[in-house]
Every structure is written in structure tokens, then in C-alpha cells.
Structure 1
């Protein structure tokens, strides 16, 4: 195919000068975001309020063009939904110099490859997807330098952190926010990149606010600012089971709920905690496990790279198998939480794990 990502991007960039700029710093990575929309940059500046970082040479450059949804006229293939899901959310096409991904519901088109990162379409109305695109560029950078991707949340005390994972619907983000009530810092909501250096494991989170359901908010007093009072009353009247399964999410800004300077995205990894509990009246059970003998727990935290990762020749040869995860974790303590769901008891256990 003669089409190229760079040529497609050049056409959009000619039509929309990028006059607005935002500098971000995620750990040791500086990101430069440019746009034709002051409103979008203002939204992103507020969202990334804890990660602003103007000045210096950018490690990652991202462009976001606000305009109506576009049809790029290329034969995009649907992305097969994850197991247990039916809805097709994205379609994509690989070109010689990168990849094109289109969000079916919003019409946003993402172009990336060879250092080019561009998202085009109704960005302001879908700023959460712009956040995801920026964060995915950061994930890609860390994976390419040797990290493995975990489907996990994380909290920390001082320089020591816990990576929290679990099977679908187990409540890893809810647990992280319960642990936050005990004075920890927040590290990440849904993705963790883990690498090993000469001193042990390092966990890298994402600057993405936890997206919580009403049930999580109602059972955590610290999350009071998340839901308006009138909506809170409606949710309080719902049965517990219905509330648990409700697909209605809110952004929980860490500074608004727990105070300033409580969000970090890098620390040492002290342990991995896996949620494998059930919604039933049974005591919580906590046990240290050996993953080499409990391979059934591996899917709880292993995560495929997905559509928003540029698989270059070097990365294509990387080992991202179960064996690679086991080797990465090495002698890292791993705990399984089974039995009945008990967020508060689990939070106390996790806080004690982080005690000096």
C-alpha cells in the first residue's frame, strides 16, 4: 500500500496550525503536547495538574487537532474485542511507517510511528481519549526500554510500593483508594510498567485519575467530592448488587479527594498483591504464593500491548511470555487475596506490607 502515516499527518497539520502548547513531565520523561485548540490544552492542563513540566527537550511529542470526525479513506480492519466482550471499539491499519487507529464511537483518528504521534477529530468532547493517547505514548517508551506491562493499580509509602492486580471486576482500583485512606500515595490506576535494575524492581505508573463507579464512592468517605449530592441520593437507593455492576464511571482527582502531592508514578516495588476473591459472605484469606506453581494467577496481571503500541523490529523480538514475567518478578513477594471481598481488611494488610 502506497499510503504512509507521515503523509496523512502532513495533510492534517497543514490545515491546522498548532499554536497551543503544553509541557508535561512523567517521571524522567518530558512530553510536549501541541494543539490548534486552546480549550483542549486548558482541559489537559487541569487534568495533568500534578505533572506539568515546561522547558527542556521533549522525549515525546504529541499533536492533537480539534476538528470534526474525518474519513481517511483507507480500508481499516476491526480490532477483535477482548475475551468476554462483543463490542468493536476500534479499527486499524498498519502502514510501512506506522499505524492508523480509528475510534468507532467518537471518530477520532490516531496516527503514530517513527516518533510521530497525532490524534485528529472531536478532541474536546472526548478529552479522556486524548489522555489515553498521551499515556499510551509513555507506556510505549517504557516498554521499549525494557519494562513489562502489568494490568494493575499501585500505591506507595516513601520509596516502596505495591502493585495491585486482579481478575476482571475484582476491584483493584477500589482497593487502591481504600489503602489511600491509610496515608499512602497513589501510583497508578490501571496500568503498571515494571522493570528490574541493579537494586531490584521499579514500578512506573500512569498519570491517569482513577475512574470509579458509584459503589466505590459510597463506601469511601474520602471520595465525597466525586459525585454531586443529587446523584448520590439516587445511588444510595439502589440495591448493593445492582450498584456493584453499574457501568457509570467518575474521575476521582487524587488532590481533591486526598490532598495535594499524593500522586507519584515511580517507586520501588516491594510486593505484588493479586485479588482473587468472591462476592460472598466468607472470611478474607491471604496467602503468599509461588507463581511458578500458580500459573493460573498469571492472567490476573499480564497485559497485552494492544493497538496503541508501535511494534518495531527490536521490540518484536522481545520475550513477553509468562516466563519473562516470572523472570522479571524473581523473588518478589506475591500474595493472593481470596475468600470473601473485604476491602478494609485488605487495605490494612497492604498498608502493613508497606511498613518499614
Structure 2
């Protein structure tokens, strides 16, 4: 078939006919409801368990996704390679832009994701790669919020006393670790790795992503609320490692919020009262906490700025370019920007965040 004749609509029609998806779950992402319809009961159970805190009883969604467990498919398309991120070499994704959408092909798993707008589809070995289906669902919400004018941030988020705070940091600074320290001290979770920030005129709102934290062994072993997810054998092995080696270890655990911290401790919408930038070092210097002006400290903002990536398809040409640092500086002037520098001290950082969420001061 002529590639120009292949459309998102035609792909969706074919696979929904060949592999009918009849079982649904509805997920409420802070006011945007996504219906995910599947053709396999195991996949349905996996998704229900992962998104259980956000399921709603309805029969109508704002966005539809169907996920079809089936053999790896060949759509007859020529793909463009997505070059690896800086510092990485393995090619994982390829893509093809359609007249009415985009296809992303995952090289390592054979999964295909076809998307754009309110109708989307996942095709391939979905059960084996349910994490990719979960990411696809979350990315549809991210796309929805970005197309409605939100800025994308690479940050974790929590809320307490009606004041939300996002935490960003340059690579390896520990934003998720700090968020989980705050969870152990009574806050409510908003997001682990991405926030969409919305301008409300004189203030900002952040929307989280319904993705459970994935943590390294060092984070798990240093937080009593999380140590339960590490097996006894792994715990003994990790504790025998040098501290630096443990923190750099490429090994991740899923830390489900409801299992580690209890029910009703994960929401997806909160005021963005403050943004913390972790800009510290692993040395013995004193940890310092300061409120700074984003327009004067643009050097900090790339820690929060996040490119939209391959799974975002803008709904208008003006959204094809990501906002620049000046746009982020203007945008973030409507919240409080806090820099934490000096030596790493998660307890002191958590104290500062809790004080800010209590009364707005540091």
C-alpha cells in the first residue's frame, strides 16, 4: 500500500476489527477522563491494579485508548530513527508521521503506538510490556494538558496544608528521594517525574502523572516506609556495597504509594505554590536554602525544563517548538523559586519544604 494512504484512522479501524477490545477502565487524571479499552483480561487486571487510586465509575471519557494484545505487527511503514538522548547510545524508538497522527515503534519490544487527539491505539505484546502501555496512557494525559497551554516540568511533587511544591534537580540530585522523604513526614503525593504547570492568571497549578515511583536501592534502604519492597537477600547484598556504588546502582523498584504510605495519599492536581531546585553536591559543605528570582537565575531553570518528546503531537503549529528559558522564567515568576545548594542533606531539605508548605516561608 502507498504509505501516504496509511492513516491513523485506517490502522485503528483494522486492529479494532481484527482484535476486538471490549473491556474498559476509566481513569480520572485530575478532571480529564481517559477510557482504556482492552482485549485481554490479564492486561485489564494489570492496568486496574496500577491505576486503582484513580479509577472512576462512568461510561464516558474525554480520550479513548484501545490496547490490543496480539503478535508484533508490520504496518508497512518506513520509520525514522529517534536518536538516543545525550550520553546514551542504544536506539530504542523509531517513528512515522501520518496525515492524522503519529506511529512510534519500540525496537526492543515490537510494540506500536498510534496516537494523536482523542483516539489512540497500542498494538502488540501488551501483557509482556504493560509498563509501556501504562506510559502510553500517561502520555496521552500529558499531551492533553500541553495542548491546553501547560508547561512541562521534569519534577516530583507533593502537597500539604493546601500548598503544593514541585522538586526538580540536575541529574542524580534526588528529587524523587526528597519527595518520598516528605511522604514519610505526612505529605500527599502529586507526581514522581513530570508535572504539567498551568497559568491561572496570578498563580500556577500543577498536574501530576499517575505513575508510581521507581526508586533505587539506596532510596529504599534509607527510608523505613520503603525498605519493605526490598527482599532480605537484596538488602544484605546492597548493605555490603560502598555507599557511592549503591547510589549509582542501575536497579529499580516500583514503590506503589498506597502500599507504602496508605490510601488516599496520591492526587493529581495541586497549587504550584513553590518550585525547589536541588543544586547540591555530595560533600561536607553546609546545606543552604534560598528564595531566588527565576529571571535572575536562569541557570537553574534547565533542571526543571523538559522537552516534549516523541509521544507528544501538538494540535497546532505554534506548539511544535518547546518554550525557551526566557518563557520558563516569565512563567515561573508566578510561583516561589527555592534553590537548595551546598552539601546533600535530605532531612534539612525536607524541613525547609515542610516549613514552606506550612506558612510560605523557608
Same fold (TM over 0.5): yes
Alignment of 1:256 onto 2:259: yes
1:201-280 correspondence runs (5 A): 201-280=204-283
Q: Once the 2 structures are TM-superposed, how far is the Cα of residue 315 of structure 1 from its aligned partner?
A: 5.0
Tell me if 1:10 matches 2:25: no
Partner of 1:288: 291
Does 2:311 correspond to 1:308?
yes
- Aligned partners of 2:306 and 2:196: how far apart in 1? 10
Instruction: Kindly state the Cα deviation for residue 56 of structure 1 after the two structures are TM-superposed.
Output: 4.3
What SS does the aligned partner of 1:202 have?
A: strand
| Inter-CA distance 317–252: structure 2 relative to 1 (3 Å threshold) | closer
Deviation at 1:281, TM superposition (A): 2.3
| Match in the other structure for 1:190 | 193
Question: Using the alignment, how far apart are the partners of 1:114 and 1:38 within structure 2?
Answer: 26
Q: Contact 2:143–2:314 (CA<8 Å) still a contact in 1?
A: no
Taking the aligned partners of 2:89 and 2:180, their CA distance within structure 1 comes to 30
Q: Is the 8 A contact 2:202 2:334 kept in 1?
A: no
| Structure 2 CA distance for partners of 1:125 and 1:183, relative to 1, 3 Å | same
TM-fit CA distance, 1:300: 0.2
> 1-side partners of 2:319 and 2:355: how far apart?
40
Matches of 1:317 and 1:135 in 2, distance apart? 20
CA distance in 1, matches of 2:185, 2:25: 34
CA distance in 2 between partners of 1:69 and 1:278 (Å): 45
Q: Secondary structure at the match of 1:221?
A: coil
Distance 1:22 1:104 in 2: 28
Which moves more between the two structures, 322-331 or 160-169? Answer: 322-331
Q: Matched residues in 2 for 1:317 and 1:214: separation?
A: 38
Determine the C-alpha separation between the residues in 1 that align with 2:44 and 2:322. 38
CA separation in 1, counterparts of 2:212 and 2:43? Answer: 17
- Mapped to 2, the partners of 1:164 and 1:250 lie a distance apart of 20
Distance (whole Å) between structure 2 residues aligned to residue 102 and residue 239 of structure 1: 39
Identify the residue that residue 70 of structure 2 maps to in structure 1.
Answer: 67
> Contact between 1:187 and 1:263, CA under 8 Å: does it hold in 2?
yes
> In the alignment, which residue of structure 2 is the partner of 1:49?
52
Q: Deviations over 1:89-146 (max 9, x none)?
A: 2110111111000111111100012422101111111111111100000011111111
- In 2: Cα distance, 1:312 partner to 1:101 partner: 17
Partner Cα distance (2:128, 2:140) in 1: 21
1:107–1:121: 8 Å Cα contact kept in structure 2?
yes
Q: Runs of 5+ in structure 2 lacking a partner?
A: none
- State how many pairs are aligned: 356
Matching of residues 74-113 of structure 1 within 5 Å: 74-113=77-116
Give, in whole Å, the separation in 2 of the partners of 1:6 and 1:229.
50
In the alignment, the residues of structure 1 paired with residue 75 and residue 152 of structure 2 have an alpha-carbon distance, to the nearest angstrom, of: 31
| Superimposed CA distance per residue, residues 277-327 of structure 1 (whole angstroms, 9 cap, x where no aligned partner) | 112222212222222122211110001111111122255367722222122
Structure-2 residue corresponding to 1:336? 339
Unaligned runs of 5+ in 1: none
What secondary structure is seen at the aligned counterpart in 1 of 2:190? strand
Q: 1:169-199: per-residue Cα shift (whole Å, max 9, x none)?
A: 1111011001111110000000000011145
- CA–CA distance in 1 between the matches of 2:297 and 2:163? 25
Three-state SS of the structure 2 residue aligned to 1:234 is: helix
1:195–1:328 CA contact under 8 A, matched in 2:
no
In the TM superposition, 1:113-132 aligns within 5 A as: 113-132=116-135
